Amino acid sequence: MAGHSKWKQIKHYKAATDKKRGALFTKLIREITVAAKQGGGDPDGNPRLRTAIDNAKAQSMPKENIERAVLKGTGELEGVDYVDVVYEAYGPGGVALMIQALTDNPTRTVAEVRAKLSRNSGNLGAVNSVAFMFDRKGQILVPANGMDEDAAMEKALEAGAEDFVKEDDAFVITTAPADLHAVRGALEKVGLKSDQAELSWIPKNLVRVEGAAADTLLKLIESLEELDDVQKVDANFDMDESEMAQA
């Protein structure tokens, strides 16, 4: 499936920018709160909440922060009412962007997103203007840790994964959206513990960007993810790791 390599590149880049701005906990807490509001506070019966909590624990979030976020979602503590929003856009070099946000004020958020796009050679698109270029999938990142690739692939497929690929020092496992939590749990039972699991927009094909366009694109993605309301940005670009590192 096209997009595996790009997903891994974006994870490395996103991890660096999240660490730099110290905003990762805020985004994780917001996801936990929304998941609890939509599906209830029991993670065993709420796959989205279970995934959000697992991701928070993987980032060493304190237990009390997680519990407080759940209680805000269920209404047992006062909290902000967030809604899911997805914006479709184009960036430099014709790269398509899927921008996922959790916001208490969509009017404010769309204005902020539009401003970031216009300042970095991008523009906001209409609904379904770029979504057809992506597949909605679950993705799980498992450290390889010297594990045999064929054995790991067999375990992943038996657990219900749709696809499996090794990238550098990790396995990227793709699932149907509804199967993400179940597959992650099955993998952990057979010794494949994940660093991260999430629903992503996986590009069907990649657009090569280089030079000034690559630099501007990365600045755009970083500026979008700096917005408090934006949870993540998926894109269909491909570029050399050296250019990404330099940017």
The whole-angstrom separation of Cα 208 and Cα 94 is 9
pTM for this predicted structure: 0.85
Q: What is the pLDDT along the chain (247 residues), one digit of tens a residue?
A: 334 445 455 555 555 555 554 578 889 999 999 999 999 999 988 988 988 998 899 888 999 999 999 999 999 999 889 999 999 999 999 999 999 999 999 999 999 999 999 999 999 999 999 999 999 999 998 988 888 999 999 999 999 999 999 887 889 999 999 899 889 989 989 988 887 888 889 999 999 999 999 999 999 998 998 899 999 999 999 888 777 766 6
In one-letter notation, the amino acid at residue 161 is A
pLDDT for residue 14: 57
pLDDT for residue 170: 85
pLDDT for residue 97: 97
Domains, the chain, in order of start with CATH, read 4-74 (1.10.10.200), 83-132+206-237 (3.30.70.980), 134-203 (3.30.70.980)
- Placement of tokens 């000034």 in the chain: 212
Residue 236 token pair: 């269909």
pLDDT for residue 157: 94
- How many Cα neighbours within 13 Å face the side chain of 233? 34
- HEC letters along 144-177: CCCCCHHHHHHHHHHCCCCEEEEECCEEEEEECH
pLDDT for residue 4: 42
Residue 163 token pair: 């696809």
